[in-house]
Amino acid sequence: MNSAFQALENEVYTTDQVLGDATDSATPSLAYNLTQASSNASTALTNSQTAISVANKSLNTTLTTLTSRVSTLETTVGAVGTSGSLADDARNAKTDAAAAKTAAESALGVP
């Protein structure tokens, strides 16, 4: 049994030597590097969450602005079929232009 305990103690000592002290920045030890990696990963996660939050705010601001501008455009242009609206006037102008083109082609004998 003493031999088994001695073997276990040797393994623990070897593992402890391989890992080293988590505060050993001079060497640096494996334990120290793992601690730093964990800290860096935590910082990266926080930075990623901040970036996502900023992107969401920016997107929301852009969508709000776009929605407002589309609403203003709809108010300014109006609806097709609403007499006197810019949209209806544009549709009527297009229809009149097509009719004028057809009349001009007919007058010129263009097939």
Mean pLDDT per 10-residue interval, the chain, length 111 residues: 90 84 84 94 97 96 95 87 88 94 90 74
71/79 Cα distance (integer angstroms): 12
- What tokens were used for 59? 């997107």
Break the chain into its structural domains and give their ranges.
2-77, 79-111
Residue 74: C-alpha distances to residues 17, 31, 40, 69 (Å): 74, 64, 50, 9
pLDDT on residue 82: 85
pLDDT on residue 34: 92
What angle (nearest 5°) sits at the alpha carbon of residue 42, between those of residues 40 and 45? 110
pLDDT on residue 18: 81
pLDDT on residue 80: 82
pLDDT on residue 111: 74
